[in-house]
Amino acid sequence: MVSPTLRLADRVTAAIRSSGFTLREISEATGISRAYLRKRLAGKREFKGADIVVIADHLGIPAGSLALGDRPPEVR
């Protein structure tokens, strides 16, 4: 379960882990480089809104669950 109190990077990390996809698979499917993802997941840089939408779409969850932590993501 993803808590709304978690940082955005933590929510994205939790959603990716629960999806069963690897970072490489997310990168290839979304066109977002692994280096870019790693920096954002580590909290060194902020995600852009469009990136959250693309990642959420690939994971099959509402972008709001990642961006706002408004409810736990339900991976397809």
| Dihedral (CA of 51, 55, 56, 60) sign | positive
2-16 mean pLDDT: 77
pTM for the whole structure:
0.80
What lies within 8 Å, CB to CB, of 9 at 6+ separation is 40, 41, 42, 43, 47
Which comes out higher in pLDDT, residue 5 or 40?
Answer: 40
22-46 mean pLDDT: 94
Whether the per-residue pLDDT at 40 is higher than 80: the answer is yes
What pLDDT digit, counting tens, does each position of 41-74 carry?
A: 998 888 999 999 999 999 999 998 888 876 555 5
The DSSP line for 10-27 is HHHHHHHHHHT--HHHHH
The amino acid present at 63, given as its one-letter code, is A
